[in-house]
Amino acid sequence: MIAIIILVGLLAVILVLALSAAGIYNSLVSLRNRFKNAYAQIDVQLKRRYDLIPNLVETAKGYLKHEHSTLEDVIKARNIAYAASQTAAANPADSSAVKGLVSAESGLTGALSRLMVVSEQYPDLKANQNMMQLTEELTSTENKIAFARQAYNDSVMQYNTSRETFPNVVLAGMFGFLPAELFHVEDAAEKNAPKVSFS
């Protein structure tokens, strides 16, 4: 009789342990997927920016007849960054390709901010419906890039905290949940994204 009670008790304890282990495992998986998704978003938004820039330049061209070099700089920087992103995508493990992308991106950001400063002086351009739409889209894309990085870092922090706290740390080691790295912006210029504002 006593043996049966002990057996049932043991089984219950094992069941509770198994259930909580499954819970911890699932929560770690969902946290890991969240930061992976955040990372993918950064890529998506960078591509979107490459697509937007030619349209923006095309619209601005009609108004900025005397600013030809500024416009050409933007297009050139965009093409360089696009090529760099292709190389980086081809070999994601190659750290020099990633570094090249980062510096190309900061070059593009600089060229764009110069264009924005120049177009400040053309009220007609600022009032152009198409231009207003494009700048809104560009602002939004810049924001999305920043938010994607931030979301990546926030979710990495959450994931790391979760996998390092007590009961989880045991399972994390067993199931191979490795610590994740934070995203660091390497170039100082990159930290100061251009403020696109026509107000």
Partner 1 sequence: MDFFAAEGRAKKRTTRLLVLFGFAVAGTVVAGYLATVFALQFAHVSGHGRAYYGQFGGSDRYGESGSFDLWQPQVFAVVSVATVAVIGLASLYKWTEFRGGGSSVAESVGGRRVDPHTTDPRERQLLNVVEEMAIASGLPVPTVYVLDAEPAINSFAAGLTSSDAVVTVTRGALQKLSRDELQGVIAHEFSHILNGDMRMNLRVTAIIFGILVIGLAGRATLWGMRYGRFGSSRGKGGGGVLVVLAIGLALMVVGYIGYFFGKLIQASLSRQREFLADASSVQFTRNPAGITGALKKIGGYAIGSSLDTHRASEISHFFFAQTFASNFGGLWATHPPLDMRIRAIDPGFDGKFIEPPEVVDVAREPWSKVPHMPPQAPSPSPQAAVALGAAIAAAAGTLTPEGAAGAQALLAEIPAAIRTAARSPHDAPILVCGLLLDDAEEPRGKQLAAIASDLGGDALHTLQQLEPALRQLKPAHKLPVLQLALPSLKALEPTALGPFAGALDDLVQAEGKVTTFAFALQRLVLRTLSIHRAPSVSITQIYSFQAVTGEISVVLSALAHASSEDASEAARAFAQGAAQLKLVEGKISFLSETDSGLVQLDAALDKLAGASGPIKQRLLMASAHVVSADGVLLTQEAELLRAVAASLDVPVPPLASLSGT
Of 121 and 150, which CB lies nearer to partner 1 in the complex structure? 150
Q: Which of 143, 164, 179, 192 binds partner 1 (CB under 8 A)?
A: 143
Close Cβ partners of 197 (under 8 Å, ≥ 6 residues apart): 139
Of 65 and 195, which CB lies nearer to partner 1 in the complex structure? 195
Q: Which of 133, 170, 173, 191 binds partner 1 (CB under 8 A)?
A: 133
Q: Is 147 in the site for partner 1 (CB under 8 A)?
A: yes
What's the min distance (Å) between Cβ of 41 and partner 1? 5
What is the C-alpha separation between 176 and 23, in angstroms, rounded? 16
What is the C-alpha separation between 38 and 41, in angstroms, rounded? 5
76 CB-side CA count, 13 A: 10
Stretch that binds partner 1, among 85-93, 107-115, 132-140, 183-191 (CB under 8 A): 132-140
Angle among Cα 118, 77, 119 to the nearest 5 degrees reads 10
Site string for partner 1, 80-119 (x = CB under 8 A): ----------------------------------------
Burial group, residue 181, by CB count within 10 angstroms (0-12, 13-18, 19+): exposed
In the chain, alpha helices (H): 2-61, 68-90, 95-119, 123-127, 129-164, 166-175, 188-191
| Cα 101 from chain centre | 14
Of 123 and 173, which CB lies nearer to partner 1 in the complex structure? 123
Of 50 and 103, which CB lies nearer to partner 1 in the complex structure? 50
What's the min distance (Å) between Cβ of 145 and partner 1? 9
The site for partner 1 (CB under 8 A) is made up of: 34, 37-38, 41, 45, 132-133, 136-137, 139-140, 143-144, 147-148, 150-151, 154-155
